[in-house]
């Protein structure tokens, strides 16, 4: 099966407390079907002092969000869109937006 969302894709959140916000995918966890989106699902964690972070304290970090709660953002249509797969002229499998028909890969 192909991968519908990839790193550096621009997505919009369609469910949850960050609904309507946009961000860029920082990391994809394919096995768990989750993604980390920049500035989305930010939580505060208490961090014990470590050699890497000698001060410790309360840090803010992005947590993973399920892929069913995000949709790819289509810049041409300026709207969320689904992704379908097609073949280009060379026979290579590419991702295509369903709203505008723009080839992503």
For 2, the 3-state DSSP assignment is: coil
Domains in the chain (CATH in brackets) are 10-80 (2.30.30.30)
Dump pLDDT digits (tens) for 68-81.
Answer: 999 999 999 999 99
- Residue 90's alpha-carbon distances to 3, 65, 87, in angstroms, are 19, 35, 8
CA distance 72 to 23: 10
Dump pLDDT digits (tens) for 22-58.
Answer: 999 999 999 999 999 999 999 999 999 999 889 999 9
- Whole-model pTM: value is 0.86
């Amino acid at each position: 099966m192909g991968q519908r969302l990839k790193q550096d894709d621009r997505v919009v959140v369609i469910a949850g407390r960050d609904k309507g916000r946009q961000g860029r995918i920082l990391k994809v966890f394919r096995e768990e079907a989750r993604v980390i989106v920049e500035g989305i699902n930010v939580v505060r964690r208490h961090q014990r002092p470590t050699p890497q972070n000698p001060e410790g304290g309360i840090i803010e970090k992005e947590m993973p969000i399920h892929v069913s709660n995000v949709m790819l953002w289509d810049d041409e249509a300026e709207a969320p869109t689904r992704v379908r797969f097609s073949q280009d002229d060379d026979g290579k499998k590419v991702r295509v937006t369903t709203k505008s028909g723009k080839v992503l890969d």
